[in-house]
Amino acid sequence: MQPENYHIALNHLDWRVLTGIGGSVIAALAIHFVIFAVIRRIIRRTQSTSDDIVIRAVYQPSRWLIVLLILMAGMQAVRLGPQVQSWWTIGSAMLLAAFTGWLALRVVKALRRIVESSVDLTAEDNLMARRRTTRVRILHRIAQVTIIFLTIAFMLLAIPSVRAVGVTLVASAGLAALAVGAAAQPALKNLIAGIQMAFTEPIRLDDVVIVEGEWGKIEDIRLTYVVVRIWDDRRLVVPVSYFLEKPFQNWTRETSHLLGTVFIYVDHGADIEALRTAWLEAVQGNERWDGRVALLQVTDHSADAMELRGLLSARDASVAWDLRCEVREAMMDFLREHRPDAMVKERVRLDALPPRASEASQPQGPV
């Protein structure tokens, strides 16, 4: 094979064209730099941070995409050898798909950051913030998978041999789809469940849930699994499909406000009104109480004691737990210091003792 069959064949006109292409690339880079510098100067005067996020995200991909487009346009005027022409055609098409996918990924990520920066998850009433953040994170991951899949597909389609194989396999695509679907059924099941979860919202980020008997908060929602942070800092990893197929408790589905219960057992002769007054003072004097519910009632009794159930309310599950513990301690202190007669007692009937034991207990006279 002669060298001219696979090397670039250029004449004097081609060198001038290449010089012009190089100059155009440099000019495009300069114009790109100037345009973004002007845009940055303009957006510094705005109060919003959204435009800053978008500009930073698209700066690098847009620069290299412009360079590639100029090269693709300019190289049409350059005479190349057949082998080099084939390499350039395939390579430029693959780079175009890669840079376009890169730009799309950066734009999607910027949109996610804009939405997340506009909400405050640390606010006391963060229901809307959790809804938006959960939805945008799930949709962001779906968009990422879709963009990466399409980018790889277009890059492979740029190769003629791969494209020919793809056309040949179209006839057997039905059987192949059935085989792949059967093998990847669990993954596809969780993937579809993740898409469904983005719109039905059975759970959201920072939701308080009871899953498999464990109390925890939703820490992260991935496309196929959910991470639940247990109260003792363990992590429970659950498939997404679990939350669509099995029952679970969501304590913050509509609001984070909760009712807590405290059970107190006292003697049958206890003064209920005095205990109720002490309960109200303990609850209403605690800063964790949200001012909604404070109630003490007799809910049951047995041969040994009466059961008192106290209800109280708080703004979320963690605060409700602390409030219950503190009020329970306050009631125990009140019973010990002011109502010791109300403490549960164990009673024994002395008249039920055997006769001999009772006679033996009598003092004996002189013999």
Site of tokens 């009466």: 306
Per-residue pLDDT of the chain (367 residues; tens, 9 = 90+): 444 444 444 444 466 666 767 777 788 788 888 888 888 888 888 777 787 888 888 888 888 888 888 878 777 766 666 777 778 788 888 889 999 999 999 999 998 888 888 777 666 666 677 778 888 888 888 888 889 988 888 888 877 776 665 555 444 545 555 555 555 566 666 677 777 777 777 888 888 899 988 889 998 888 788 999 998 889 999 988 888 888 888 888 777 778 888 999 998 888 889 999 999 999 999 999 988 889 999 999 888 889 999 999 988 888 888 999 999 999 999 999 988 888 887 766 666 556 655 455 555 545 4
- Distance CA(195)–CA(224), nearest Å, equals 9
80 is written with which tokens? 């190349």
298: left (phi over 0), alpha (psi -120 to 50) or beta: beta
Contact 310, 324 (CB under 8 A): no
Phi, psi of 337 (to 5 degrees): -90, -40
pLDDT of residue 350: 61
Distance of CA 215 to the CA centre of its chain: 17
Q: How far is CA 253 from the centre of its chain?
A: 15
Predicted local distance difference test score (pLDDT) of residue 165 = 56
The continuous run of DSSP H or E covering 353 comes out as none
Residue 354: DSSP 8-state: -
Query: For the segment 333-350, what is each residue's pLDDT rounded down to a tens digit?
Result: 999 998 888 888 776 666
How high is the pLDDT of residue 239? Answer: 87
Structural domains of the chain ordered from first start: 3-118 (no CATH), 258-342 (3.30.70.100)
Q: Taking Cα atoms as reference points, which of 235, 233, 228, 237 lies closest to residue 203?
A: 228
DSSP state of 70: H
pLDDT at 4: 47
> 302: helix, coil or strand?
coil
Q: Determine the length of the chain.
A: 367
pLDDT at site 354: 61
C-alpha dihedral sign at 253, 255, 259, 260:
positive
Determine the pLDDT at residue 280.
Answer: 92
**CB burial readout 151-167, b (16+ within 10 A) else e:** beebbeebeeeeeeeee
The residues with which 216 forms a beta bridge, in sequence order, are 209, 230
Q: Are 91 and 101 in contact (CB under 8 A)?
A: no
Residues contacting residue 229 through CB under 8 Å, at least 6 positions apart: 216, 217, 218, 219, 235, 236
CA dist 310 and 278 (Å) reads: 11
301 Cβ partners below 8 Å, 6+ apart? 268, 307
Q: How far apart are CA 79 and CA 83, in angstroms?
A: 12
Predicted local distance difference test score (pLDDT) of residue 325: 93
pLDDT of res. 136:
84
Distance (Å, rounded) from C-alpha 83 to C-alpha 25?
A: 25
Tokens of 359: 């006679």
* Per-residue pLDDT, 301: 86
**The pLDDT of residue 169:** 47
